[in-house]
C-alpha cells in the first residue's frame, strides 16, 4: 500500500507521519479484505450452518475496518474524537471476530488466517488509538 | 426504505422488531447520503477553502453512517458490543458534523439541511444504542 | 431521504435536478440495505446451504448499490462516463440478484421483498443511465 | 495483504487461484486508500479551488475501487457478469482519476503518487477483466 507515501505528502503533515496510525490504516484494509474473503469461504463450506456467527462477525468486522481505514487516512482539519472511538470500536470488532474465527481455525484454514489478521488489526488499532490520545496532550 | 419489512421477516426476529433500531438504520443511510452530498456541494462552492473542516467531517460522518447502517441491519447471531460502540461513535460523528454544518447554515442551504439530517441521525443513534443496552439486561 | 433537497442546493445545480438520477440514488440506498438484510436473513435460515448463491449475489449487489448511490450523488465537476458504467453495472447486479431472490420468494418473505426492491432499483438505474446518456448530446 | 492466502483456502478454489484477480484485489484496496488520501490532501491545499475535479474523481474512484475489491474477493457461486462490468468500470474510474492527478503531479507529490497508483490499478483491473472473460469460454 502507498498509505505512508500518500500521508507523508499531505500539506499539513509534510513528512511528520504518525507511524502507528499508518500501520493501522494498512491493517484495516488488510483485515477488511480478509473478513470479506472469510465470510465468503464460510458461506461456501458444506457446514455453513455451523459458521453463522463467524459469517456475521466477519461481515461486521469488514464494514468497521473499511470505515476505520478511510477515516484514519484523513489529515485535513481534525476529528480526533471520532478517530479514537472508531479505532476502539474496530479493535473490539477485530477481537470478537478473531476469537470466533480462532474457534474454527483447526478445521478451516481461511478461519485460521483470518483470525491472525484480525488479531494483528486489533493490536494496530489499539496502538493507533493510544497514539491519537497521547498526541492530544 | 424497506428496513422494517426486511428485518421483520428475519427468521430470528419474526415480527418482533426493535423500532428504534430500524429508525436508526434509516437515519444512517439518509445521513450518509446527505453528508456525501454536502461534502460535494462544499467542494463546488467558490469559498471552498473556508469549508475544509466541514468537508472532512462530512466525509468521516458518511463513512461511519454507512458502516453503522450495515452493522445495525444484521440480526443473525449477535454482536451487541460492536453495535453499541459503533452507534455511540456514529452519534458523535453526527454531533460534530451537525455542529460544523450548522455554522455554515445561514450561507449554504446544503449545510443547513445536512445539519438537521445529522442531528436527527445523532438522536436516532443514541435512542438505538440505549435500546440495545437495555435489551441486554 | 433528503437526496432531492441536498442536490437541489448544490451550487452548480441550483434547483435544476435530474429527477431520474435522484430516484436512482434513493433506490440504490434502499436496495443496499435490503440486500444486506436479505443476506443476513438467509444466513439465519435453517436451509442456509441452499441459499449460497442468493447470499453471494446479495452481498455483491449491496456493495455495487452503495458505490452507485455515492457516485450518483456527486455534482461537482463531472464524471459521466463512470456514472453511466456504474449504473449499468448496478442495474445488472440488481437484475441477477432480483432473479435469484425471486426463486426463493415463495418460501422466504425476505427474499420476496428483496426481489421487488432489486427490480425497482434495476429500473431506476436504467432510467438514470438513459438520462445521463441523453444529457450528453 | 492476505488476499492470496485467503482465496487459496476457499473450499471451491483449493489452491487454484486466478493470480491476475488477486493482484487486482490488492490494487483496488491500495488505490481506494490512495484516492481517499489524495482527496483529503487536495482539500488541505491552499489552492483547493483548482483541485475540484481532482477531488471529485478521487472520491468516485475510491468508492468504485472499494466495491470492486470486495466483489472480486468472493468465490462462492459465481457472478462473472457483474465482476466483469465492475472491473471495466473501475479501470475507467482509475484511468480518468489517474489522468487528472497526473495534471497536478508536478505541483503536488500526493497527486503524482496517486496517479501512479491509479494507473497500476487500471492495468490490474483490465488484466483481471480479461482473465474473467477468457475463463468463461
pLDDT, one tens digit per residue, over C84-99 is 999 999 999 999 999 9
Give the rounded distance of the alpha carbon of D48 from its chain centre.
Answer: 24
Per-residue confidence (pLDDT) for residue B16, from 0 to 100: 87
DSSP B50: G
How does residue D31 score in pLDDT terms, banded at 50, 70 and 90?
very high
Q: Look at residues D65, A27, A68, C67 and name the one whose alpha carbon lies nearest to residue B71.
A: A68
Selecting from B39, B48, B56 the residue whose C-beta is nearest the C-beta of D49 gives: B48
Q: HSE (CB half, 13 Å, CA atoms) of C64?
A: 37
pLDDT above 80 for A136: no
Q: Is D15 helix (H, G, I), strand (E, B) or coil?
A: coil
Instruction: Write out the residues of chain A at the interface with chain C, using a CB-CB cutoff of 8 A.
Output: 39-40, 43-44, 46, 48-49, 52, 55-56, 59
Per-residue confidence (pLDDT) for residue C137, from 0 to 100: 58
Per-residue confidence (pLDDT) for residue A15, from 0 to 100: 84
Q: Look at residues D90, D88, D119, D89 and name the one whose alpha carbon lies nearest to residue D102.
A: D119
> Are C113 and B9 an interchain contact pair (Cβ–Cβ within 8 Å)?
yes
Per-residue confidence (pLDDT) for residue A137, from 0 to 100: 58
Where is A14: in which H helix or E strand? none
How does residue A97 score in pLDDT terms, banded at 50, 70 and 90?
very high
Cell numbers at D112, concatenated: 503524482
Tell me the average pLDDT across D106-133: 97
Contacts of A59 in chain C (CB under 8 A): 39-40, 59
> Are C30 and B1 an interchain contact pair (Cβ–Cβ within 8 Å)?
yes
Per-residue confidence (pLDDT) for residue C135, from 0 to 100: 83
Between the CA of residue A46 and those of A41, A42, A51, C25, D72, what are the distances in Å? 10, 9, 10, 37, 22
> Are C67 and D71 an interchain contact pair (Cβ–Cβ within 8 Å)?
no
Residue labelled with grid coordinates 432531492: C4
pLDDT above 90 for C4: yes
User: Which chains lie within 8 Å of chain A at 3 or more CB pairs, if any?
Assistant: B, C, D
Contacts of D39 in chain B (CB under 8 A): 59
Tell me the average pLDDT across B69-80: 97
Q: Which residues are CB-neighbours of C123 under 8 A, at least 6 positions away?
A: none
Looking at CA atoms only, how far is residue D49 from chain B in angstroms?
6
Q: Is A135 helix (H, G, I), strand (E, B) or coil?
A: helix
How does residue D14 score in pLDDT terms, banded at 50, 70 and 90?
confident
> Are A88 and B88 an interchain contact pair (Cβ–Cβ within 8 Å)?
no
d(CA D64, CA D31): 10
CA A29, A31, A37, A39 dihedral sign is negative
Tell me the average pLDDT across B34-38: 98
> Are A49 and C46 an interchain contact pair (Cβ–Cβ within 8 Å)?
yes
Between the CA of residue C112 and those of C53, C60, C116, what are the distances in Å? 15, 18, 7
In chain B, count of helices (H) and strands (E)?
5, 0
ipTM of the complex: 0.97
d(CA A93, CA A99): 10
The chain A residue lying nearest C39, using CA atoms, is: A56
User: Which chains lie within 8 Å of chain B at 3 or more CB pairs, if any?
Assistant: A, C, D
Round to the nearest angstrom and report the end-to-end CA distance of chain B: 30
Tell me the average pLDDT across D81-88: 98
Residue labelled with grid coordinates 453495472: C89
Looking at CA atoms only, how far is residue B76 from chain D in angstroms?
20
Per-residue confidence (pLDDT) for residue B14, from 0 to 100: 84
Helix axes D109-135, D80-103, angle to 10 degrees: 160
Residue labelled with grid coordinates 497526473: D102
* pTM exceeds 0.95 for this model: yes
What is the percent of chain B with per-residue pLDDT over 90, rounded to a whole number?
A: 95
Q: Look at residues B7, D17, B68 and name the one whose alpha carbon lies nearest to residue A37.
A: D17
CA C43, C48, C52, C58 dihedral sign is negative
Amino acid at each position: 500500500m502507498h498509505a505512508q507515501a500518500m500521508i507523508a505528502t499531505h500539506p499539513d503533515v509534510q513528512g511528520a507521519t504518525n507511524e502507528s496510525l499508518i500501520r493501522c490504516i494498512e491493517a484495516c484494509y488488510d483485515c477488511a479484505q480478509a473478513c470479506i474473503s472469510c465470510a465468503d469461504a464460510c458461506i461456501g463450506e458444506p457446514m455453513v450452518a455451523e459458521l453463522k456467527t463467524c459469517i456475521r462477525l466477519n461481515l461486521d468486522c469488514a464494514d468497521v475496518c473499511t470505515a476505520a481505514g478511510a477515516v484514519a487516512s484523513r489529515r485535513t482539519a481534525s476529528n480526533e474524537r471520532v478517530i479514537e472511538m472508531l479505532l476502539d470500536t474496530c479493535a473490539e470488532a477485530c477481537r470478537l471476530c478473531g476469537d470466533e474465527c480462532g474457534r474454527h481455525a483447526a478445521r478451516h484454514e481461511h478461519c485460521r488466517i483470518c483470525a491472525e489478521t484480525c488479531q494483528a488489526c486489533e493490536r494496530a488499532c489499539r496502538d493507533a488509538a493510544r497514539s491519537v490520545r497521547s498526541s492530544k496532550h
